[in-house]
Structure 1
Amino acid sequence: MDMHGKPDVVDKRHLRSIKTKQKLLEAAREVFLEEGFQKGTISQMIKKAGIGYGTAYVHFEGKEEILMVLMDDVMEKFYEIAEVSFVPETKEEARQIILLQATAFLKMAETERRMMQLFEQAIGISHSISTKWRAIREKFIQRISKDIAFAQACGLARAELNNSLVARGWFFTNEMYLWEIVRNEHQGTVEEIAQTMTAVYANGLYI
């Protein structure tokens, strides 16, 4: 720190900026859940957060950008499930890991149902949110593809199958059930859905 204490001033400003951004995100989450994506306004969020208009627009261009940050926060919880270490030595071990992941993924859809309902609304209305969801989807598909490639290299999975196409099919299956759970339209329990999905997938892919 220099004589004038400038780094301290910068640090305090930075900390204040982070706190302001967090306040706005928390307020936005409440407004979105109360009003929905279409009716919720950035003005309501700013009022609830108790911050100035100018300050809010320093952090976000509008409500779509705010929702994207909230999407990242929620989807990171799902992605942590996909990131579980995948180094099976047998078909059965692979099946067990996949079953645990599928079950955790769908249970997370139950836990985050209200936020996921909000995201589904926004995906249907906003081009930028829809584009954001496609990017999230691709991130999952790339991770799944990597796991399949590992299993193929180890001789556990069918080498003649295109790992990227298989990964897309597996994610789309998960995604379909995820939205059914979010809408409360699912048939059977999460455990039954995960077991059925996993059996069909693992028996088709693994040798």
Structure 2
Amino acid sequence: MGTEAKTEDRRHLRSALTRQKLLASAKKVFLEEGFQKATISQMINDAKIGYGTAYVHFQGKEDLLRVLMENVMEQFYEIAAISFTPQTKEEALRTIRHQTLAFLKMAEAERNMMRIFEQAIGVSTVIADKWKAIREQFIESIACDIAYSQQHGLARKDLNHLLVARGWFYMNEMYLWEIVRDEQQSTVEEIAATITELYTTGLYL
């Protein structure tokens, strides 16, 4: 490898490390201050980097939170991406229950950052739009699973799979935010089992 290539590699590594340092500081400040009180200056000072360097990577605190949101939601996407090719209604029910429980458990595990996201969704167009995009990604994944079940004779074909997918996600989302606020009336396990039973009973043959 030539000298120029090595220098470029070092520059990329330094840039990536600076970005990660700033994200770590942003997370710390958001958790300490909340979304509205947190400032980009606090994050830059905590990361001990220059203002000019920081603004090369991020436009402001909303941009930082958007990336932190993407990082957290990657874990949720992994749950949604669990292979869904059931051969029977019972197998579909088991998989859906497992996904639902994992989704709600993740909300419980990420409660502190999810609270920051909820604060930001209420006041920031950037973050609200990001959440809408996240929601649509989940709905699209659910719709594909429903279409698979309909095509394989496991689910009712008279129901619009897009509408069902949207309704199912909204139900999960409502409980997700209740869990984030620590307002749920039952255990996460009971919630997951109950809503899965309702959903699959109405949809599956």
Q: Does the pair score TM above 0.5?
A: yes
Q: Distance in 2 between matches of 1:127 and 1:16?
A: 32
Which residue identity is paired with 2:187?
Answer: T
Q: Which residue matches 1:39?
A: 37
In structure 2, distance between residues paired with 1:180 and 1:88? 30
Aligned mate of 2:13, from 12, 15, 18? 15
**Residue equivalent to 1:143:** 141
Separation in 2 of the partners of 1:164 and 1:11? 46
Structure 1 distance, partners of 2:108, 2:49, is: 33
Counterparts of 1:12 and 1:83, CA distance in 2: 35
- Report whether the alignment pairs 1:130 with 2:138: no
| Residue aligned with 2:153, SS | coil
Whole-angstrom CA distance in 1 between matches of 2:120 and 2:43: 17
Counterpart among 55, 58, 63 of residue 56 in structure 2: 58
Q: Report % sequence identity.
A: 65
Query: In structure 2, how many angstroms separate the alpha carbons of the residues matched to 1:164 and 1:92?
Result: 22
> In the alignment, what sits opposite 2:160?
162
Cα deviation, residue 195, structure 1: 0.6
Match of 1:203 among 180, 185, 201: 201
Matched, 1:48 2:50: no
- Taking the aligned partners of 2:44 and 2:126, their CA distance within structure 1 comes to 22
Report the AA paired with residue 127 of structure 1. Answer: T
Mapped partners of 1:85, 1:118: distance in 2 = 31
TM-score under structure 1 length normalisation: 0.98
Query: Residues 59-138 of structure 1: matches in 2 within 5 Å?
Result: 59-138=57-136
Q: What does the per-residue CA deviation read over 1:122-147, in whole Å, with 9 as the maximum and x for residues that have no partner?
A: 00010111011000000000000000
Query: Where does structure 2 lack aligned partners over 5 or more consecutive residues?
Result: none
Shift of 1:160: 1.1
Hey, what's the Cα distance between the residues in 1 that align with 2:162 and 2:173?
Answer: 16
Please state whether the residue corresponding to 1:51 is helix, strand or coil. coil
Runs of 4 or more consecutive aligned structure 1 residues displaced over 3 Å after TM superposition? none
| Cα separation, 2, equivalents of 1:146 and 1:130 | 25
Distance 1:17 1:194 in 2: 42
From 176, 179, 182, give the equivalent of 1:178: 176
Q: Deviations over 1:54-102 (max 9, x none)?
A: 0000000110000000000001101100100000000010000000000
The alignment's C-alpha RMSD in Å is 0.5
Using the alignment, how far apart are the partners of 2:21 and 2:6 within structure 1?
22
Q: Partners of 1:127 and 1:102 in 2: how far apart?
A: 28
TM-score under structure 2 length normalisation: 0.99
Equivalent AA in structure 1 for residue 159 of structure 2: L
The separation in 2 between residues aligned to 1:79 and 1:173, in whole angstroms, is 17
